[in-house]
Amino acid sequence: MASLLWGKVYYHNLFAGFIREEPGDSISFNYDASYIEGGYPAIAHTLPVRSEPYISNYGLHPFFDNLVSEGWLEQLQSRLLGRRIVSRFELLLAFGFDCAGAVSIYDPKPSDLSKSMLDMSNPRELAVLTNRASLSGVQPKLAVIEENGIYRPTRMDELSTHIAKFPTPTHSDLIENEYLTTVAVKALLPKDEIVQLTIDEVVGLDEPALLIKRFDRNSEGRLHFEEYTQLLNKRSQTKYDGSYKDMANFLLETNGCLPTQVYILYRRILAGLFMGNTDMHLKNFAMFHTKDGLRLTQSYDQIAASLYDYKTVALTISGSKDHPIGDLKSRHLVLLGKEFGLSPAIINMAVMELAKNREAAKDAINDAPIGTKKLSNKLIKLMDKRWNGTFSLIGKALSKKQ
- Clarify whether residues 367 and 248 are in a common domain: yes
- Clarify whether residues 26 and 122 are in a common domain: yes
- What pLDDT score does 1 carry? 42
Q: Select from 133, 153, 170 the last residue of a domain.
A: 170
- Clarify whether residues 230 and 158 are in a common domain: no
200-243 pLDDT, tens digit each: 999 998 789 999 999 999 999 999 999 999 999 999 999 999 99
Torsion of Cα atoms, 268 then 270 then 272 then 276, to 10°: 180
165-207 pLDDT, tens digit each: 999 889 999 999 999 999 999 999 999 999 999 999 999 987 8
> Under 8 Å CB-to-CB from 83, ≥6 apart: which residues?
117
Tell me whether residue 1 is in a domain.
Answer: no
Tell me whether residue 84 is in a domain.
Answer: yes
21-59 pLDDT, tens digit each: 998 889 999 999 999 999 999 999 999 999 999 999 989
- What pLDDT score does 164 carry? 95
Under the banding of pLDDT at 50, 70 and 90, the label for residue 384 is very high
Residue 351 has pLDDT above 50, yes or no: yes
- What pLDDT score does 2 carry? 60
Domain CATH code at residue 396: 1.10.1070.20
- Clarify whether residues 155 and 267 are in a common domain: no
Q: CA 313, CA 336: separation in Å to the nearest integer?
A: 13
- What pLDDT score does 310 carry? 94
Tell me whether residue 103 is in a domain.
Answer: yes
Tell me whether residue 307 is in a domain.
Answer: yes
Q: CA 393, CA 387: separation in Å to the nearest integer?
A: 8
Tell me whether residue 162 is in a domain.
Answer: yes
299, 327 Cβ separation under 8 angstroms: no
Which residues form the domain of 67? 6-170
| Residue 179, SS3 per DSSP | helix
- Clarify whether residues 242 and 326 are in a common domain: yes
Residue 8 has pLDDT above 70, yes or no: yes
Angle of the 373-389 helix axis to the 261-274 helix axis, nearest 10: 120
Q: What is the sign of the dihedral through the CA atoms of 365, 218, 10 and 45?
A: negative
39 vs 309 pLDDT, higher one:
39
Count CB-CB contacts under 10 A for residue 372. Answer: 11
- Clarify whether residues 17 and 133 are in a common domain: yes
Rounded to an integer, what is the distance from CA 9 to the centroid of its chain? 22
Q: CA 366, CA 375: separation in Å to the nearest integer?
A: 10
- Clarify whether residues 359 and 240 are in a common domain: yes
279, 314 Cβ separation under 8 angstroms: yes
- Clarify whether residues 130 and 239 are in a common domain: no
Q: Select from 132, 149, 170 the last residue of a domain.
A: 170
Number of domains in the chain: 2
Q: CA 271, CA 190: separation in Å to the nearest integer?
A: 12
- What pLDDT score does 400 carry? 65
Q: CA 279, CA 286: separation in Å to the nearest integer?
A: 15
Provide the mean pLDDT of the chain. 93
- What pLDDT score does 161 carry? 97
Angle of the 344-367 helix axis to the 261-274 helix axis, nearest 10: 50
Q: Name which of 66, 62, 32 is nearest 46 in CA terms.
A: 62
Under the banding of pLDDT at 50, 70 and 90, the label for residue 12 is very high
- Clarify whether residues 113 and 252 are in a common domain: no
Buried b (16+ CB within 10 A) or exposed e, 59-84: bbbbbbbbbbbbebbbebbbbbbeee
- Clarify whether residues 107 and 246 are in a common domain: no
The residues with which 227 forms a beta bridge, in sequence order, are 286
The share of the chain scoring above pLDDT 90, in percent, equals: 81
Rounded to an integer, what is the distance from CA 273 to the centroid of its chain? 17
Tell me whether residue 181 is in a domain.
Answer: no
Angle of the 330-339 helix axis to the 344-367 helix axis, nearest 10: 120
- Clarify whether residues 141 and 241 are in a common domain: no
Q: What single letter denotes the amino acid at residue 154?
A: T
248-291 pLDDT, tens digit each: 999 999 999 999 999 999 999 999 999 999 999 999 999 999 99
Tell me whether residue 195 is in a domain.
Answer: no
Q: Where are the beta strands (DSSP E) in 59-100?
A: none
Torsion of Cα atoms, 280 then 283 then 289 then 290, to 10°: -20
> Under 8 Å CB-to-CB from 210, ≥6 apart: which residues?
164, 165, 166, 175, 178, 179, 197, 198, 199
Q: What single letter denotes the amino acid at residue 353?
A: E
**Residues 75-95: what's their mean pLDDT?**
88
Tell me whether residue 290 is in a domain.
Answer: yes
User: What letter does residue 240 receive in the DSSP assignment?
Assistant: T
The share of the chain scoring above pLDDT 70, in percent, equals: 98
Q: What is the sign of the dihedral through the CA atoms of 236, 237, 240 and 242?
A: negative
- Clarify whether residues 239 and 161 are in a common domain: no
